Amino acid sequence: MSEAILGISAFYHDSAAVLLVDGRPVAAAQEERFTRKKHDAGFPHHAAKYVLGEGGLTLADLTAVAFYDKPYLKFERLLETYNGFAPRGLTSFLSSIPVWIKEKLFMRRMLNDEFARLGEGKPKVLFPEHHLSHAASAFYPSPFEEAAILTVDGVGEWATTTIGKGSGKDISILRELHFPHSLGLLYSAFTAFCGFRVNSGEYKLMGLAPYGNASAPRIEAWKRAILDEMADVREDGSMLLNMEYFNYATGLTMCNFPKWEKLFSIPARQPETAITQEYMDLALAIQQVTEEIVFTLAETARDLTGCANLVMAGGVALNCVANGKLLRRGTFDDIWIQPAAGDAGGALGAALAGHHIWQGQPRTVEPADSMQGAYLGPEFDRSRTLRTARRHKAPYTEFADFGDLASAVADLLADGNAVGWFQGRMEYGPRALGNRSILGDPRHPEMQKKLNLKIKYREGFRPFAPSVMEEALPEYFDIDRPSPYMLMVAPVDESQRRELPDGYDSMPMYDRLYVQRSTIPAITHVDFSARIQSVSNRTNPRYWGLIDAFRKRHGCGLVVNTSFNVRGEPIVCTPDDAYACFMRTEMDYLVVGDFLFAKKDQPEWREQGDWREQFDLD
């Protein structure tokens, strides 16, 4: 009988389930996609039910279930932290400890109760440490026989950063940085101070940083303030944070706001208010500090391991700006980053640790990686799409030949339309990679504004990513290797750029944003960068085929790709989710499989109440 391990991450944020059969991912999904609650932290009941069904297995068939951290060790950290900071943190202690005693301290019992809802059977439960789960998720699927491993996030049990080495089936952790000293929490504190939501707004802070005025004297002054007052960064990249500036260890907020306001001479920004130049500059300052720390950690990892390649996971590994710069520095020959680098990926790492470490199974290294393009979620057949169309009395055109569909959609894109593109298996991880995407023409001067304001209903400053045919990558971007998971930022090639107007750097944010900086303005950020997804005909032939049709018919080998959702909503999972999002927004067309829906032909969309109230703004 095959070995089957169910991986679970839950009870913090981004819960997920993964099924591993004989060491290979069969299915993986985040719970939020089923419950429609973004960053859902509950037990991933729907995701677990899906992955077991996809594998044709029941709970009784499992060799083990692997949970992505050690609850008792995390409880120890909470108790020791409160004890170390006492009498500070009493309010937080009184609110959190009863929950731990009542629920999380009895995690094994809680998990067994949840498993009972999935069916009969009592599999063995494994509890690898949080950062071991991250390390396993980074190393085992990677294309490297041997690699340095860097995991950086907010906090697991005690560890906030680890450096390790992977070789064959073995992982050794060589260095750890412990709570409360954390690069991830430092970056999250700046996220909060700049008015964004922690654990979801960090990518907004990263996107805001290029609007900072790099020549402004306060950038260097603020970087010195961070490094002199807040964070004592050592030669190896480890750090000691001055906890007088932070409340997260024992409080209910991230920052000691009065001390921050005194240090930076600006007030904390209130959410949803105008973003002034001060916050753009502060975002640039902390982004540059973060990059330097990541570079130093990588150099330490190289020195400790002697490895030529690096793998990364943890929430900070989603900082694709730092990743792209690290790649170009040449510290390592190559870098591979787990596409589900955050806590959702811990479910995969826990299962892989169970297979290779607990079971001692050998590892097979695949030439690209073993993630199958991260297309590991549910897919829906023709009959399911027909049911959605009938339910909503939705007119459609069905194409018998994919080439005809691709040509038709390519022409729609070239005419300036926004197209929802729903195909095959849903992506695992935070990025839409061409199966649950909204697409546009990157050459269209108004496309960035249209997608942000009329479809995504989100802040207008936020950039969009290009999906580019792997073969056309050098024509558009200064990067010398594929970037299939949208985890690397690279410069737009000089041949595609346009000259900037005088005084560009001093223009207001949105004036800068809408300057046509290149031949592909919808995906060119204000600093001439782009977060790249290279598309391979081997991994996703339909998406590649669409872009190829766009290239052949309109001379452009890339499209704008943004996730198929609105602000605060998880990426769509089902055809019903896709149709609802299509009708609620100013999207022009929807493609589900071989079906094309035109907005102008659809019946009036009606639903009870305001749909926007279903989703909390992230």
Residues recognised as catalytic? 13
Residue 492: DSSP 8-state: B
d(CA 272, CA 494): 36
Identify residue 599 by its one-letter amino acid code. Answer: K
DSSP letter string, 126-188: E---HHHHHHHHHHTTSS-SEEEEEEE-S-SSSEEEEEEEEETTEEEEEEEEETT--HHHHHH
d(CA 366, CA 368): 6
Report the SS3 class of residue 573.
coil
CB atoms within 10 A of CB 322: 25
d(CA 419, CA 450): 12
Cα torsion 73, 74, 79, 84 to 10°: value is 100
Phi and psi at 579, nearest 5°, equal -65, -40
Nearest CA among 326, 345, 246, 324 for reference residue 532: 324
Identify residue 363 by its one-letter amino acid code. Answer: R
Nearest CA among 52, 32, 29 for reference residue 40: 32
Please state whether beta strands 309-313 and 558-563 pair in parallel, antiparallel, or not at all (unpaired). Answer: unpaired
C-alpha Rg value of the chain to the nearest Å: 24
CB 184 within 8 A of CB 346: no
Cα torsion 187, 350, 98, 161 to 10°: value is -30
CB atoms within 10 A of CB 172: 11
Question: Under 8 Å CB-to-CB from 491, ≥6 apart: which residues?
Answer: 477, 478, 528, 529, 530
Angle (CA) 312 315 317, round 5°: 35
